[in-house]
Structure 1
Amino acid sequence: MTQAALSPVRVAAPYTLMLLTGLYIAQGIPYGFFTQALPVLLRDAGLSLKAISLTSLLFVPWTLKFVWGPFVDRVGAPRRWLLPLQLGSAAGAALLTQVDLQQGFAALFAAFFLFNLFASVQDVVTDALAVRLLDERQRGLANGVQVGAYRIGMVLGGGLLLYVYARFGWRPMFLSMSMLLLLCSLPAFWLRVPAARAEPLRITGRALVAGWWTRLRQPGVLGFIGLIAAYKFGDTMAASLIGPFMRDWGLQKEAIALIKGTVGSSAGLAGAAIGGWAAWRFGRRPALLVFGLAQTASIALYALAGLKLGGVGMVWAACIAEHALGGMATVALFTLMMDASDPDHAGTDYSLYACAIVLTQGAAAFVGGAVGDASGYVTSFVVATLASGVGCLLLVARLDRGAGPAALRTHWRR
């Protein structure tokens, strides 16, 4: 069957906003729990920083989600993907209420791994849908919605769920997660967008591999993947340490839930809104450069907090600054990634770039944990600050010289 020219697609703007907001909140809820709440719970149980860093293995499905890109691009309308995945994730959260935290972590980690597998495929579908629904002018603002909604999910998953656990226990926490995911799924029931490309239902493994391998070999793609990984390494290295750092600093779980999960992520939401407006108003290059360097400066505040300078106020300042400025930088980067994605291959292209970030998160978390165990938090935050600054300057300098996919050259200095 020949390719159907179905991209781009236009859907009513209010519904598009509601749909993407719900889907990205649904992605942020488990991510907020796994990256913010779970490390605190494991540190409270006595695990080392290096052992906690191994939870990054839970995100392996996210690093491999590009494998599903060609399948999502070729088979089935988005609604046929989203509803089973969303409802399956909600059911998975409900099943986790039956897991006993005191009986060991093996079964728990296996359940989390499957949960992330469902969420990673949902992410491919959602990102592909966003690329198809949004034009160039909308992407900066819409990526503010994307990152902002994701941050709201992180507030719920990392702050609210940790608070529920501290007050009511394990089972109410996962029951709350299940109900939140169901609520976020509602807009998908009314989705009526056709498949990006109409092809036979039977797609072979060889065709799938050929699909993403062909996209990976497009001129400039590999170099661009390396640049976005460098841009995010320092920030994600620092972010992986913040929960355990606050616990070891002497804060209680309820205080961490307030500072990191609620106030910090709310600052990230505000940062995402500002970042989306700036990417639309001033262009990609100024937003990436200014926000990337500002994000770098915010990481240095954690090193000062580790030296006990400024007391708990410095911890608050570091968390608010890192979330707000990190939200701005992330919006700018995601907008750039959408610019580099072909609408007819959006599930494959964007997931390749997103997988590079997830893989970077895993490597950065392990490096952060290893350096922290060996030399302490202060050294880790200093290394993260340097890595963040170098990565930001490297990405801007290389794109100035024409690196990356050809599509970026029409967007880079706008």
Structure 2
Amino acid sequence: MTDMTVNGNGQRSWRETVLVYFTPVMLSMLILGFASGLPLYMVFQKLSFWLRDAGIERSTIGFFYWVTLSYTFKFLWAPIVDRIKVPILHSMLGPRRSWIVTAITGTVIGLTIISQTDPTQGLLPVAIGAILLSYSGATLDVAIDAWRIESAPNRMQANMAAAYSLGYRVAYMTSGLGLAISEWANWSASFLAMAAAMAISAVLVFFMKEPAAGAGSRDLEGSFGMKVVRAVWEPFKQILGRLGRWFIPVILLVMIYRMSDFTMGVMASPLYADIGFDRAIVGGVQGGPGLAATIFGLFVGGVAAFRFGLMRALVIGLIITLITNGAYAWLAATAGPEDVGRLTIAIVGDNIAGGFVTTVFIAYLSSLVDPANAATQYALISSFYAFVAKFLSGFSGVLADAVGYVNFFLITASWTLPAGLLLVFIMSLGPDAATGKHKFEERQTEA
């Protein structure tokens, strides 16, 4: 794609804003988003459903959740994805696509192993398949994040994030199809069908473009010790050097920007149940207008960041999160079991906000990353928000019990305020490296 035209205010035309989505790199991103999302949904949701359906105790199923820790600690082996060449595939596909195909192959094998097991006859084979599926899926995330960052300049990262997230949503719907297949046929056929979907994704990777950004900087030279230093320490040192004293406020922003919607989301379903909404109605709203709202939010976030700038889009994201979280306080205070209209307003609003902030936040994280160390640096930065937000979200029930639903959602909404103050501080005084404007020469590529 050629450079986008901008008007006198630095804003891009609406034509350029829309056409950016109709490029080969965006279609590739959609496919890779699907491949990234399907393993997580299968191991996080469908595996537990299958185990419970087989009569496995809830406590045992809970222990299987630990396999998803791979997604939290993936930064530990991200330097391997950045630096190590996959035999044979590297010469055929390049560094990023070779790792993507390798990781997808691992998910296919994991799903196939699970499909051939019977949890009533022993859980060890199931655990082996689940671990392979989870760690392959986490590795796939690392490789795809690096591909996304290197395949487009900063100005397109929000659009890439929107396409990626839409692919994730398609994976969610596909995993639901896997559940239906288990009902029509059996669980073995379900897992095999999902393995086939991943295999098709791997084939499509062969037709995608390998990004050139950062390739020359990833070659390792010197002794084994020096290679370890270059692969592990230098990417972290590089971030510190680029951000300097602004590393602390930037990481704080990363940790708290999505705290509001993460913590409120944990208590949304209990609220529906306690109000007395019918499960079928809640599911219908979530799967119909709620899903459409999420997709709409994803692309509006991409449009806002592309047209108005990333930091302004981050501000907009906090404002709509504040409003939509407040809508849940309104729902808790006023709704009864028959108030489907209010339920719809709350879910649609929250999903629009969730889609919007997902897009702009991923774009911001991507703007902080050097293409030469994309896998390592993105995995590290994203782990800050993933671990902290998920850990604190575990206390949502305690807070809701202590203050009640109305005050709980008002409190979670108010957590956008310190994030907003920190964001304005970084916008006003921060260097280009902290505001998503740093010019990584290798990323100024044509998309």
Per the TM superposition, whether the score is higher than 0.5 is: yes
The residue aligned with 1:400 is 427
The residue aligned with 2:97 is 79
1:254: Cα distance to partner? 5.8
1:209 aligns with one of 232, 252, 277:
232
1:269 aligns with one of 286, 291, 295:
295
1:398: Cα distance to partner? 2.9
The residue aligned with 1:64 is 73
The residue aligned with 2:25 is 16
The residue aligned with 1:317 is 345
1:342 paired with 2:370, answer yes
| Structure number with larger C-alpha Rg | 2
Does the Cα contact within 8 Å between 1:245 and 1:377 map onto a contact in 2? yes
1:253: Cα distance to partner? 6.4
Change in 2 beyond 3 A, CA 1:15/1:360: same
Change in 2 beyond 3 A, CA 1:173/1:375: farther
2:358 aligns with one of 327, 330, 339:
330
1:116: Cα distance to partner? 2.4
1:185 aligns with one of 198, 202, 205:
202
Counting only pairs closer than 5 Å after superposition, residues 364-375 of structure 1 correspond to structure 2 as 364-372=392-400
Change in 2 beyond 3 A, CA 1:59/1:225: farther
CA distance in 1, matches of 2:368, 2:25: 21
Counting only pairs closer than 5 Å after superposition, residues 279-298 of structure 1 correspond to structure 2 as 279-298=305-324
1:29 aligns with one of 34, 38, 46:
38
1:235 paired with 2:261, answer yes
Does the Cα contact within 8 Å between 1:306 and 1:378 map onto a contact in 2? yes
SS in 2 for 1:408: coil
Higher relative contact order (CA 8 A, sep 6+): 1
TM-score by length of 1: 0.79
- Matched AA of 1:27: S
1:405: Cα distance to partner? 6.9
1:207: Cα distance to partner? 5.0
Does the Cα contact within 8 Å between 1:155 and 1:261 map onto a contact in 2? no
1:407: Cα distance to partner? 5.5
1:93 paired with 2:93, answer no
TM-score by length of 2: 0.74
Change in 2 beyond 3 A, CA 1:119/1:22: same
1:117 paired with 2:138, answer no
- Matched AA of 1:359: F
Does the Cα contact within 8 Å between 2:157 and 2:366 map onto a contact in 1? yes
Does the Cα contact within 8 Å between 1:215 and 1:348 map onto a contact in 2? no
SS in 2 for 1:217: helix
CA distance in 2, matches of 1:386, 1:18: 37
1:263: Cα distance to partner? 4.3
1:331: Cα distance to partner? 1.0
1:260 paired with 2:260, answer no
Stretch deviating more after TM superposition (15-24 or 330-339):
15-24
The residue aligned with 2:385 is 357
The residue aligned with 1:199 is 220
CA distance in 1, matches of 2:395, 2:128: 23
CA distance in 2, matches of 1:343, 1:35: 30
CA distance in 2, matches of 1:245, 1:52: 24
- Matched AA of 1:148: L
Does the Cα contact within 8 Å between 2:400 and 2:408 map onto a contact in 1? yes
Task: Give the alignment's Cα RMSD to 1 decimal.
Answer: 4.0
- Matched AA of 2:240: R
Does the Cα contact within 8 Å between 2:33 and 2:168 map onto a contact in 1? yes
Does the Cα contact within 8 Å between 1:293 and 1:392 map onto a contact in 2? no
SS in 1 for 2:316: helix
CA distance in 2, matches of 1:373, 1:51: 27
- Matched AA of 1:320: V
Stretch deviating more after TM superposition (226-235 or 142-151):
142-151
Structure 2: runs of 5+ lacking an equivalent = 1-21, 86-94, 440-447
CA distance in 2, matches of 1:308, 1:165: 40
Stretch deviating more after TM superposition (267-276 or 22-31):
22-31
1:41: Cα distance to partner? 8.7
Change in 2 beyond 3 A, CA 1:252/1:57: farther
- Matched AA of 2:203: L
Map Cα deviations across residues 258-297 of structure 1 (whole Å, 9 max, x no partner): 4335543332112111110110001112211112221232
- Matched AA of 1:214: K
SS in 1 for 2:335: coil
The residue aligned with 1:3 is none
The residue aligned with 2:5 is none
SS in 1 for 2:435: helix
Change in 2 beyond 3 A, CA 1:41/1:33: same
1:145: Cα distance to partner? 1.4
Structure 1: runs of 5+ lacking an equivalent = 1-12
CA distance in 2, matches of 1:234, 1:106: 38
